[in-house]
Homo-oligomer: A and B are copies of this chain.
Amino acid sequence: MTQYVAGIDLGGTNISAIFMDAEGQTHGWVTWPTEAARGPAEVINRIISLTKFLMDKNSITAQQLRGIGLGVPGLVNSREGRSVFSPNLPGWRDIPVAGLVAAGTGVPVLIDNDVRMAAWGEKLLGAGRDREDVICLTLGTGIGAGIFIQDKLYTGRDESAGEIGHVTVEKDGPRCSCGNYGCLEMYASGRGIARRMRAAIAAGAASLVLDLAHGDAGSITAAMVCQAAARGDQAAEQVIKETAVYLGIALAGLANILNPQRIVLGGGVMGAGELLLAPVRRVVRERAMPLNREVEIVAAELGDLAGATGAAAIARKEFMLGEERATWTW
């Protein structure tokens, strides 16, 4: 009887789940809308229902499911299995999510922050798999990082390491939701890119992006900016170029501080591909110290599956292999 674990990635928009077997092979990727507005109890019910749906669909019995790994956005207390606070999930404050999902599914559950789960995915099965000192960033609605030092995840004193999105890249820049000014997230997140494109259009720039948004500046997305830049739209190219400068400054800083071997960039913003990667690499080469600038900067490989894959991989280590958690603060 084949044994499995499940990996679940809880996002503000979608919940994704995947199975993994003892050999580390993944199966049966499924994604549902989160319906986060309905509050934590309903979202947790949906996680439980999605798990059962996935089990039925793949004919996996409760006896075959050894455990669940769950990635949760925001601040997480992984030891207590508790979501401390999640700005993108209305009402999520001090929710004992691991216990609730375990009670609803009848299998043990471990949780961690979604960015760290995606980082585990890339580290173990994606673009970071053959490197020891790797930093895996997610550039999405927000920006965060999982820092691996000699194959171990470093989470810091209060599980709050890796908050690269809130490093200041523009001293007097716009105020961020975190209270700081000029955070990287204000420039290089999906929202940050869309915001700057809207500002350029409001300032009179002619751009294809406005056509892609059917004339409604309010509905501009980072994906539209990338699409327009790929077609040679100058205003969009300018926004991507500026994004690369800010991202390059932050990554050069990270390289100077930690001297990693590789930086992996994932998340929706990386839909831009080489359009963004090439100038980012150039900025890091220009700005980091001689040895630190040798860092490899590569695109993530798992795309939308990174979070669920990482959660499954960790659940496999914990619940199937009985490995000691390869981290310092867990």
Contact = CB atoms under 8 A, between A and B. Distances in A.
Q: Which of A133, A149, A163 has the most CB of B within 10 A?
A: A163
A158 interface: yes
A227 interface: no
Interface in A160-175: 160-164, 166-171
Given A149-B328, A252-B168, A291-B75, A158 B259 contact: yes
A120 interface: no
Contact of A168 (B145, B258, B287): B287
A167 B155 CA distance: 22
A97 interface: no
Nearest to A246: B171
A288 B288 CA distance: 23
A292 B180 CA distance: 13
Contacts of A150: 328
Contact of A164 (B161, B168, B257, B288): B257
A5 interface: no
B168 A253 contact: yes
Copies per assembly: 2
A203 interface: no
A28 to B, nearest CB: 36
A294 B157 CA distance: 10
A261 interface: yes
Contacts of A161: 257-259
A249 interface: yes
A155 B169 CA distance: 25
Place the interface of chain A in its size category.
35 or more
A72 interface: no
B286 A163 contact: no
A179 interface: yes
Contact of A167 (B145, B166, B257): B257
A167 B253 contact: yes
Contacts of A171: 169-170, 245-246, 249
A215 to B, nearest CB: 33
A156 interface: yes
Contact of A259 (B156, B179, B290, B292): B156
A254 interface: yes
A164 B259 CA distance: 11
A171 B258 CA distance: 20
B252 A156 contact: no
9 nearest A-B pairs in the assembled complex, by CB-CB distance: A156-B259, A163-B256, A161-B259, A160-B291, A167-B253, A158-B291, A160-B259, A180-B287, A168-B249
Interface of A: 75, 133, 145, 147, 149-150, 154-164, 166-171, 178-181, 245-246, 249, 252-254, 256-261, 286-292, 294, 328
14 contacts: A156-B260, A157-B259, A158-B294, A159-B291, A160-B290, A160-B292, A163-B259, A167-B252, A168-B169, A168-B252, A168-B287, A169-B171, A180-B252, A257-B257
